């Protein structure tokens, strides 16, 4: 798929209708990410990097594949948080080995 300004997002708000290019949308998202420091993000990013290194996947992936994987994991993490009652803390942790 070709990227750039050929793809746009039409956004309707109460006040106006906007057409955002991919670069404008990404700038908006980056500005939000840079303003918010979240401990859960830091923990998951570290685990994500550990996973890539331990599974030796990083050496076989290009930057586009890593970005796609990270973006997709972020999307599903958001859904997980929205659909479940999640509290953060250091209580009993269920590891994947315990499932």
Q: Whole-prediction pTM value?
A: 0.68
**Looking at the predicted structure, is the pLDDT value of residue 30 above 90?**
no
**Which tens digit of pLDDT belongs to each residue from 62-90?**
999 999 999 999 999 999 999 999 888 76
Other C-beta atoms lying within 10 Å of the C-beta of residue 77: 13
- CA-based nearest residue to 1, from 49, 47, 68: 68
Domain boundaries, the chain: 1-36, 37-86
Task: Yes or no: say if 21 and 5 are a contact pair by the CB < 8 Å rule.
Answer: yes
**Looking at the predicted structure, is the pLDDT value of residue 99 above 50?**
no
Per the listing, tokens 């958001």 go with 78
Residues 6+ apart with CB under 8 A from 77: 44
Instruction: Map residue 9 onto helix, strand or coil.
Output: strand
């Amino acid at each position: 798929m070709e990227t750039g300004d050929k793809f746009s997002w039409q956004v309707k708000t109460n006040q106006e209708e906007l057409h955002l290019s991919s670069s404008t949308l990404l700038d908006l998202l980056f500005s939000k990410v840079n303003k918010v420091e979240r401990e859960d993000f830091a923990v998951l990013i570290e685990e994500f990097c550990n996973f890539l290194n331990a599974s030796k996947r990083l050496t076989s992936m290009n930057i586009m594949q890593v970005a796609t994987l990270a973006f997709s994991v972020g999307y599903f993490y958001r859904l997980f948080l929205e659909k479940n009652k999640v509290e953060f803390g250091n209580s009993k942790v269920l590891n994947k080995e315990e499932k």
